[in-house]
């Protein structure tokens, strides 16, 4: 970073700065924990059981917080994959269940946005296609921050919601499905994108009507002709910006496709998603009726506090997945 030409390539420079922050975050977290534990242990060794009972009780009260810090560092030690430190494109797609499924997809979008905000990630909505009556058909969010793929890969798969439908006049119980996909982000420099292999279409950004419809041809759809991979971006007002984000997303998807051919574990993780409906490889169920329960079908981790989960408290599920995956592979 001290080199004279460090900023001659801004994108590469920014990537290096992000990498440095990530490494510093791990090292500083360990150093801080080690320092605090050493201080406490040193003081405890000097304590007299009778005279310093108040201090001993004060230390005991700190144990849950210390345990959480230790477990957090242990989780970071599980990030050994070559993509774990990368930024990601997080996509949500409504599946079987009609309007309820579209509403469910939007609920998941809100859940992830709250988790991202709570954990200090930068999130930008690149695409959002709203449903005709309610909710969304799909959304794509670019996520930037420490170990974005390492954490969010736990969410890849079909999520099932069981509740009394607010869109059913008889308030019958409805099962809805939505799929979540997480693709590590690669820049255009990481993969050779030839203009001749791309079909570029522009169109007006869609929406429910009125002020939400972009009157200019700003939305961009890219099709990679050799593979059939399609990406689109419409949330920026500028066609140039939409094309830039679409190119980044295309590069990432093609890179993922190439890696999946070489890496059986990576391919298996994405292949488990299946159809977005019954029997489609659900990874997690969210039950609101007749009782409240969120259960991960892979790890068995569960909680009855569904509202907290929908408000972004998904860290226990992510950590349980990372530990389960480490044991499994």
Closest CA to 107 of 273, 314, 298, 301: 314
pLDDT band (50, 70, 90) for residue 177 = very high
CA angle 97, 153, 94 (to 5 degrees): 15
pLDDT band (50, 70, 90) for residue 265 = very low
Q: Which of 3-12, 140-149, 194-203, 302-311 has the highest mean pLDDT?
A: 302-311
- CATH 3.30.70.1660 is held by the domain 88-188+263-328: yes
Closest CA to 233 of 142, 327, 121: 142
Which token pair is 211? 């002020």
Provide the pLDDT for residue 266: 40
Flag whether pLDDT at 40 surpasses 50: yes
CB 304 within 8 A of CB 292: yes
Give me the percent of the chain exceeding a pLDDT of 90. 36
Class of the CATH-defined domain 191-251: alpha beta
CB 101 within 8 A of CB 160: no
Q: Which of 47-51, 134-138, 197-201, 245-249 has the highest mean pLDDT?
A: 134-138
- Evaluate if pTM is beyond 0.85: no
Provide the pLDDT for residue 197: 78
Q: What is the pLDDT of residues 42-55, one digit of tens each?
A: 888 888 776 788 88
Flag whether pLDDT at 232 surpasses 60: yes
Question: Where exactly are the structural domains of the chain?
Answer: 6-76, 88-188+263-328, 191-251
């Amino acid at each position: 970073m001290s080199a004279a030409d460090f900023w001659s390539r801004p994108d590469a420079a920014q990537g290096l700065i992000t990498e440095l922050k990530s490494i510093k975050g791990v090292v500083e977290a360990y150093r801080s924990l080690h320092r605090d534990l050493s201080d406490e242990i040193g003081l405890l060794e000097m304590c007299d059981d009778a005279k310093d009972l108040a201090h001993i009780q004060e230390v005991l009260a700190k144990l849950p917080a210390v345990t959480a810090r230790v477990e957090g560092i242990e989780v970071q030690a599980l990030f050994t994959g070559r993509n774990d430190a990368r930024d990601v494109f997080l996509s949500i797609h409504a599946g079987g269940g009609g309007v309820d499924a579209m509403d469910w997809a939007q609920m998941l979008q809100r859940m992830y946005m709250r988790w991202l905000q709570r954990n200090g990630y930068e999130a930008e909505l690149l695409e959002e296609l709203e449903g005709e009556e309610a909710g969304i058909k799909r959304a794509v969010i670019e996520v930037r921050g420490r170990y974005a793929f390492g954490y969010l890969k736990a969410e890849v798969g079909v999520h099932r919601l069981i509740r009394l439908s607010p869109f059913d006049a008889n308030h019958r119980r409805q099962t809805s499905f939505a799929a979540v996909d997480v693709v590590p982000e690669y820049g255009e420099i990481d993969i050779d994108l030839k203009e001749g292999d791309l079909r570029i279409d522009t169109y007006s950004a869609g929406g429910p009507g009125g002020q939400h419809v972009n009157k200019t041809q700003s939305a961009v759809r890219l099709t990679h002709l050799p593979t059939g991979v399609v990406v689109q971006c419409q949330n920026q007002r500028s066609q140039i910006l939409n094309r830039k984000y679409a190119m980044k997303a295309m590069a990432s998807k093609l890179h993922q496709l190439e890696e999946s051919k070489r890496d059986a574990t990576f391919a298996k993780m994405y292949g488990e998603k299946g159809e977005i409906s019954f029997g489609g490889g659900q990874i997690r169920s969210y039950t609101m009726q007749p009782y409240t329960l969120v259960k991960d079908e892979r790890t068995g981790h569960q909680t009855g506090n569904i509202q907290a989960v929908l408000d972004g408290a998904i860290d226990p599920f992510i950590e349980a997945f990372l530990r389960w995956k480490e044991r499994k592979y």
